[in-house]
Structures are given as structure tokens and as C-alpha cells.
Amino acid sequence: MSSDRLLSPYETAAELIHALTGFGVRHAVISPGSRSTPLTLACAHHQKIKSTVVLDERSAAFIALGIGKQTGVPAILVCTSGTAAANYFPAVAEARASGVPIVVLTADRPPNLRGIGSSQTIDQIKLFGDHTVLFHELGEPVNQSWDIDRIRFSARQAISDAVTKGGAAHINVPFRKPLEPEENELKRAENLFRSENENSFNQKADLTKSVILGNEITDRIKHAENPLIIAGPSNAFQSPEKLAFRFAEQFIGPIIAEPGSQLGEHPLRVHRYEQFLRNPATRQKLKPDLILRFGDQPFTKSVLTALEDWKDVDTIRFDYRNSWQDHQMSSDLVVNLSPGETIDLEIFDQTTSYKLTVWKDADQEAGEILHSFLEKENRLTDGHIFSRFIHDSNEGNSIMLSNSLPPRDAALFGEPGQHVTVNRGAAGIDGILSTAIGTAIASGKPTTCLTGDLAFLHDSNALLTLQKSETPFTVIVVNNKGGNIFRMLPVYDQKKTYTDFFETPQNVNIEDIAKAHNIIYQRVENRQQLEETGLSSVKNPGVRIIECITDPDASMSMRKELWGS
């Protein structure tokens, strides 16, 4: 490139995209638009970028979130100017709340066209406020050599902050017309894209690095006779499983792993804690003398209640993203870790928790009660769906659970040992199916998304992308006629307004929605049909929607009986 001319919009975009690929970025999620033409073409032309085109920007952002949750490497989000970027806000908020990296590239009008009524122009400066980990206005070209250095450094800043701080980095890129490249610019970009650009920023921790625990932490662990491990939600790339299991095996102590914890099956896991830990007498009997916490803030009521009761118990939290995740404000000590880092446990003697047998007995008894409840109830309930779904799934299947009741039902009814993905940062019901699509794009695994009817409808635009899925994908819609979670709250007693304002059942034909998107549809209305329907995507190629019509009254009645068992 000649140093006496300015970079064109396409050359600017090409430099930026190429620099991002040097830090390991391999996915772009693009929504169509005019002002973003240079960014779109640069992504489309770069051989290292797999581009996914998504019409709806809100869905696109959650797809990028899913890619980041799965890999720990940010996907690029590209949109045009105006309200397009505003649709990214829910996913940007979730990314920050759950520590997931994304790089948001918003095209913009140049400064002289802002604030004077130009079409498709809003104020995009720090559009997402404090919900991003970085904002940078790239600015217009002024000096080619300096501009290239700044573009490359901006890419480094974005990747570094998105990965190390956990969240979305936002780069706003103004472009002047003409937006389309000339032939000679395409040739120069082609040569650029072929050039070596591997950068030195290390996205992953040295897997051989061992963290040395301080004396205070070491002493508390050594003196524990009845330790308990609690794992809240984590992202797949944070990989807390190995360290949590090593601790459990060192102390032969029980493990509570909530759905989304990224902990698989282990002999020391207890599975029916949502039943027996709701009992005050049982909580007192099982009270540990040390709690080792992994992952984010737990969400199941049984665990939250237990942690509140056990606030006087020493608690050590192992934190993979330097985030305050302590609703009870009870963590005495925090150990900050990077994904892959380990801890030398050989300094501790191997012991056995004297209450392990009590935990296992309570777990077994609760499991027998659950089995009897499921067997004696002839009506199809949410519990039957979750019990069957987790039973059908295996490690070859990627699982996404919606928010609201699904993760709680997975804890109550689900079989043990499955890795699942959840959006528990801001815990909204928006973008669930889109996030699952992102995990499927990143992992390439057969994927199953279990969602409620309202969350499904909330993100139904994702079906436009799902119908083109390259991997087997099953959507299980638990249709219990609205937001049943509100039945657990005092507002349920407000009978005159409850149904219309809170539970909000929708009169929508999901089969027609599936047909409109050319997606296979199955309907399950009773237990026999459920037994005959395989819910996993592993042995079912293609894309399909399974709608399970459950009885909301019987479902809630079963939950309440189990909680009191």
C-alpha cells in the first residue's frame, strides 16, 4: 500500500478482520446492512473466518454468545448503523454477566453525518454503557501507517479485554462512501489475508501452571473433616470439572453440581439435593465444616437456602473470571484462576468426610421417592419430560436449557452427569434458542435445546437460522401453557389478574410455526408417546421440533410434593 493515501473503508475493515484472526478468532455472525458492507465483505473474503448470516440482530448476538460460551474465543458480530446495534443489548448484557467474550463491530456514519437527521443514524458512542469491557471509536483514516498500527492495536485491545475481563468489546467503525472495494483493493486484501499474522497474546493459561495456595487457605482445608463442594453455573471453556473432582477425591467428600456447572458424572456427586436440602432438619444434619465453591452464583432454592443457613461455615471460592459471585456474601477467601490452571493437592492428606454416608443415604432415599412419584402420575408432567430427556442424552449431545423453570426442573427431575449450557448471568428467557445454535456452530455436535413455550416464542426468529443447521438439532418445547414459574410466588393468589398479566398463556400453533420454516414437527401428549419418542439429537439427523403438551396443575403439584418430601 502506498503511504501517501488514506485507507479505504474496505482496506480498514480488511486490516481489522485480519488482525482479529491473528488472535484466534474464527467465527463471524453478520446481519445484512449497507453501512457495514466493508466489514461484511472482509469477513466473507477471509479464509480463516466462518461467517453465519442472521437476519435478526438480537438473535445474531445470542448466537455469538453461544460460540463464545463454547470456545472461550470471541466471535465477531457485524451490523449496520442505526437501531441494528441496539438489538445486541440483551446478549451484550448476558455476556458481561456470565463472563463470555464477544467482539462487537458496529458500522456507523462518519461524524459529520451524525446529529443532523441523517437516515439510519443514532448515537452509537458507548451505546452499551457499562455492559461492555471495552469501547473504542476507530475514527476515520488520517495517516495510513499510523492507522494500520492503531487498527491492529485496537484488535489486540478488544481480544485481550473480552477474554481476560469476560464480556463484549465494542468497536464502532465509521465509514464514508463509497463502501464497496475496487478491484485493486480486493487484490491487496487477498495478499494481506494470506500473510502470517499470529500474535503473541496468550488466550489460554499455561496448562502446566500450578497455583500455590496461601497458608490461610491451606490451613482451613487441612483442618476440615466434613467438606462440601458446590458448583454453580460455568461456561464450557472455563473447565472447572477437573479441579473440583480432584478436590472431592482428595477429601472423599460430596459434590453438589447444579445444571450448567460443567461437571459430569462422578461417584461422589449427590443428585437429589433439590428434594432433601429443602428440609431444615436435613440441612442441619448435613451441615459441612468447609464449603469449596466453583462456578458462578448458585440458583437452586435448596442450595441458596442451605448457604444462607450455613453462613458461619468457612467458604473458599475458586473463581475463573474474577467476578463477585457471592449472593450470601459468605466467601471468606477467593482463589482466582485462569481456565486450565491447576492446584497442587499433594500437600493435603487424603481423608474421608465422616458425613459422606449420610449424604449418600439422603440422596438414595430422595431418588426412590422421585421414581415413585413419576411412576404413579398418569398425566404427562414437566417432570416426565426432564427425566426422560436427560436419560436419553449422552456426552455426544450438546444440551442447552432455557431459563425460568427448565434449569430448576433439571436439578429436581434430571438424571445425573450431563454437561449442559445455561444463560444464568442475567437469567433472561430471551435468546435461548439462538444461544444453543451458537454452541452447535462452535462444537459441531448434535444439539438439543429444551425450552418452555414462552421462551421458544420469544426467540422464534432463530428458526430462520436453525433451518440451515449443519448439525443435527432438536428443539424440545415444554408447552405447559405459559409462565408457570409465577405459580411459585405470592402473586399467584391474585386470581383476577394472575393469568393475563403473569402466566400469559399464548394461543399459537407451534406446528404451523415449524411448517413455515420447513422444520420437522412432532407432538407428544401422553406418557406412551413420550416413551416412543427419542429426545436426543445424536441418533436423529436433521432439524426437528418436539412439542410436549404437559399438565401445568399436575406438574406444579408434583414439584411441591417433592420439595416437601
What is the DSSP code string of 494-512? -HHHHIIIII------HHH
Tell me the torsion sign for CA atoms 382, 387, 388, 394. Answer: positive
Q: Which three cell numbers stand for residue 411?
A: 436439578
377-563 topology per CATH:
Rossmann fold (3.40.50)
Q: For residues 123 and 555, give the distance between their C-alpha atoms in angstroms, rounded to a whole number.
A: 48
The whole-model pTM stands at 0.94
pLDDT at residue number 325: 81
On the question of pLDDT at 34 being above 90, the answer is yes
Lowest pLDDT segment from 134-148, 204-218, 253-267: 204-218
Buried b (16+ CB within 10 A) or exposed e, 221-234: beebebbbbbbbbb
- Residue partners of 176: CB distance under 8 A and separation at least 6: 9, 110, 140
State mean pLDDT over 454-471: 96
Q: For residues 170 and 149, give the distance between their C-alpha atoms in angstroms, rounded to a whole number.
A: 18
State mean pLDDT over 329-341: 79
State mean pLDDT over 232-257: 91
Tell me 445's DSSP state. S
Lowest pLDDT segment from 198-207, 272-281, 554-563: 198-207
Between 421 and 393, residue with greater pLDDT: 421
Report percent pLDDT > 90 for the chain.
77
On the question of pLDDT at 251 being above 60, the answer is yes
Is residue 94 a contact partner of residue 100, using CB atoms and an 8 Å limit? yes
On the question of pLDDT at 184 being above 90, the answer is yes
Q: Which three cell numbers stand for residue 49?
A: 473466518
- Residue 534: which pLDDT band, with cuts at 50, 70 and 90? confident
For the beta carbon of residue 6, count every other beta carbon within 10 angstroms.
13
pLDDT at residue number 395: 67
pLDDT at residue number 439: 97
Q: For residues 225 and 229, give the distance between their C-alpha atoms in angstroms, rounded to a whole number.
A: 13
- Residue 391: which pLDDT band, with cuts at 50, 70 and 90? confident
On the question of pLDDT at 209 being above 80, the answer is no
Q: What are the backbone dihedrals phi and psi of residue 492, each rounded to the nearest 5 degrees, phi first?
A: -60, -25
State mean pLDDT over 336-345: 76
Lowest pLDDT segment from 226-240, 264-278, 316-330, 342-356: 342-356
Residue 206 identity = D
Q: For residues 255 and 240, give the distance between their C-alpha atoms in angstroms, rounded to a whole number.
A: 13
User: What DSSP letter does each residue of 350-370 carry, written as one string?
Assistant: P---TTHHHHHHHHHHHHHHH
Q: For residues 449 and 443, give the distance between their C-alpha atoms in angstroms, rounded to a whole number.
A: 14
Per CATH, the number for 210-357 is: 3.40.50.1220
State mean pLDDT over 446-455: 96
Helix (H) or strand (E) holding 43: helix 37-45
Average pLDDT, the chain: 92
On the question of pLDDT at 207 being above 70, the answer is no
Is residue 14 a contact partner of residue 148, using CB atoms and an 8 Å limit? no
Lowest pLDDT segment from 179-193, 323-337, 538-552: 323-337
C-alpha distances in angstroms, 33 versus 83, 107, 155, 180? Answer: 11, 9, 22, 13
Helix (H) or strand (E) holding 146: helix 144-161
pLDDT at residue number 208: 43
pLDDT at residue number 381: 98
On the question of pLDDT at 421 being above 80, the answer is yes
346-349 contacts at long range (C-beta below 8 A, 24 or more positions apart): 347/218, 348/218, 348/221, 348/222, 348/250, 348/251, 349/222
On the question of pLDDT at 447 being above 90, the answer is yes
Q: Render pLDDT for 91-130 as a digit per residue (tens, 0 to 9).
A: 999 999 999 999 999 999 999 889 999 989 999 999 999 9
Q: For residues 325 and 315, give the distance between their C-alpha atoms in angstroms, rounded to a whole number.
A: 13
Per CATH, the number for 9-194 is: 3.40.50.970
- Residue 149: which pLDDT band, with cuts at 50, 70 and 90? very high
State mean pLDDT over 337-358: 78
On the question of pLDDT at 250 being above 80, the answer is yes
pLDDT at residue number 27: 99
Residue 137 identity = E
Which residue ranges make up each domain of the chain? Answer: 9-194, 210-357, 377-563
Judged by DSSP in three states, 48 sits in coil
Buried b (16+ CB within 10 A) or exposed e, 201-210: eebeeeeeee
Q: What are the backbone dihedrals phi and psi of residue 452, each rounded to the nearest 5 degrees, phi first?
A: -80, 170
State mean pLDDT over 30-55: 98
- Residue 212: which pLDDT band, with cuts at 50, 70 and 90? low
pLDDT at residue number 177: 96
Q: For residues 295 and 502, give the distance between their C-alpha atoms in angstroms, rounded to a whole number.
A: 31
Query: Can the peptide bond before residue 38 be classed as cis, meaning omega within 30 degrees of 0?
Result: no
On the question of pLDDT at 204 being above 80, the answer is no
On the question of pLDDT at 479 being above 50, the answer is yes
- Residue 219: which pLDDT band, with cuts at 50, 70 and 90? confident
Q: For residues 170 and 4, give the distance between their C-alpha atoms in angstroms, rounded to a whole number.
A: 30
State mean pLDDT over 320-346: 79
Buried b (16+ CB within 10 A) or exposed e, 355-388: bbeebeebbeebbebbeebbeebeebbbbbbbbb
- Residue 540: which pLDDT band, with cuts at 50, 70 and 90? confident
pLDDT at residue number 375: 96
State mean pLDDT over 325-329: 80
Cα end-to-end distance, the chain, whole Å: 74
Is residue 406 a contact partner of residue 28, using CB atoms and an 8 Å limit? no
Tell me 489's DSSP state. S
- Residue 396: which pLDDT band, with cuts at 50, 70 and 90? confident
